[in-house]
Structures are given as C-alpha cells and as structure tokens.
Amino acid sequence: MRDKRKKMVFGMMVLLFLATNYAFAGVVNLPQTGQIISYYDGDDGDWLAGVSWPTPRFMINNDGNTVMDNLTGLEWMRDGSVPTLTQCQGGFQTWQTALDYVKCLNTNKYLGYTDWRLPNINELKSLVNVGQSNSAKWLNGQGFVNMQPAFYWSSSTYAADTNSAWVVNMTDGSVVPFAKTKAGCYVLPVRGGVFSNYQGTEGDKNMITGGQCEYREYLGYAEVISAKVVKDNAAEKDKFEIKFKFYPDETVEESFANPEGREFLVQLNFYIEPGKKINCKMKVIKKGTCTPIIFEFPEMES
C-alpha cells in the first residue's frame, strides 16, 4: 500500500503544480491533517492526502508575542491564556466579551496593529493536529505558550441555533456549538498574516497572492543551536529537529521574515552538529500563496 500511496501523492503534487500554474478560480488545496501513522490500509495516515505541512510549521515573530503559521499565513497571538492587556480584560470569556476583547486590542493598537480579530471556525481548527492526543500541549511545543486543553471561541455562529457559536476543543480537536452566553471559553486572536491583511514595509507590499509562487532568495549562514532525533514510525528513516539562527549576507527587506533575534526550528533528513556554522539559503515569498519562508542547506542537500 505504501508504494501505491507514494504514487498517488506524487500525482497529487503534479496536479497541485498544474493548478498553481493556471490558478484555477475557486480551487482550494486542503492541507494534511497531521496524522502520519497509519492504523489500517486506506486510512488518513496511509494516504497522507492534502498539502504537506511546511517545516517549520510555526515561527515566533521578532516581537516575541506572536506566532506565524507558515502553512496558512495567519499570525496568532502567542499567549493562549487570554492575558489582561492594558484595558483589555483577560480570562474566561462569553462570545460577546471575546469579540469585545479583540476590539479592545485594536482600540489600543496592541503590538502596533488594528486588525486583530476572533478567528473563524476554519482558521481556529487549522491549529489542531489530529496526529496528537493533545493539540494544546503540541502547540506549546511549537512556539505558543499557555495554550489550554480547553475550548476556544470562534467568530462563526451556529446556523441551527444563532444563540450559539462554534468552539474548538484544543485537547482532542472536537468542534461543537456552545451557547454564546457561556463564560467558560478562551480566546486566541489572529491577524490576516502575510497574505491578506498584512500591513508592513514597502518591500512587503510587493507580495501578490495567487498564481505561480515566486521567492526572493537571501544567502547567508546558519548557526546550529541544537539537534535531536525525531522518531517517525511512518517513515523509513528518522528525521532530525534542528534549531538554528540565520545570519543573512544582506538586509532582509520583508519585515515578517527578518531573522534578527529569532530562532528557527526545522525537521531535516540529515544531522547537523550543534555549534556548527553552515551555508544556508532563506527563500521569502514574493508572489503566490505557498509557504512564506523556506530554508535550504545546499552543502547538506547536494
């Protein structure tokens, strides 16, 4: 079954490439679920259907308070505990106070932005990794902090009962409607990220969505901080989780990709010894809706 799956995945990749080149209107390429273990022939872990997750999936931004999702281009508040910020009262929220909390962030220009919003149900459930028994715990290991094994509000109303709204359980990933007056859910504000409502430098404004993807390349070197083996029962070989800093040879014009003061985490098929400095290339999206930032290690990949 594995050979058949590989052929199918390759075929899907070719189809995706063609669809990207011709930019068919209305076509949405759904991502993989995160489940990489197959429990029975023909299941999710066997087919691995969907767009592969980028590595790294998440990156902590320079401000230290937000996390960029490289799969969706969405920028999330890093702290999942709903902290009290200036006049914005944190803690458990009803649906209405959740909307008010986000409105307060915009009024007070939290981190300099005025486009924070309560995520819709599709955006919120995109954070769930169905390959993990506890998505909150997993997210806390991906750059987020204080993500709770509890329910989080979405901005999406439940059509069958408009007095309720959809919520996501960040423990098991379940999606259910809750009464809007229920004061027992958390809030995780989001911004449009790189591709939709992003407001940055002049260099950022040159990015265009749709069509074939184009990247700007920055040469430099990576300084490896740590490296560890990541067991993958679904793969023939183990992977290596490499944490590193990137030092470009020139100034990175796109503010969202500025590597200064940041640590990056990637999974590779090869090992790089901690403390080693190695030639590295950072590719930053200029056009299209592909992964915003990609790292390549030419010496190791050749």
List average pLDDT for each run of 10 residues in the chain, which is 302 residues long: 42 32 46 87 86 86 87 91 94 97 95 90 95 96 96 96 97 97 96 43 38 82 89 62 91 85 80 93 78 83 64
Unique residue bearing structure tokens 């079954």: 1
Residue-level pLDDT at 217:
95
So what's the pLDDT on residue 263?
Answer: 81
Q: What is the dihedral of CA 253, 267, 48, 142, to 10 degrees?
A: -70
pLDDT attached to residue 194: 34
**What is the phi/psi pair of residue 53, to 5°?**
-75, 140
What single DSSP character describes residue 149? S
CB 35 within 8 A of CB 45: yes
Instruction: Assess contact for 198 and 256: CB atoms under 8 A.
Output: yes
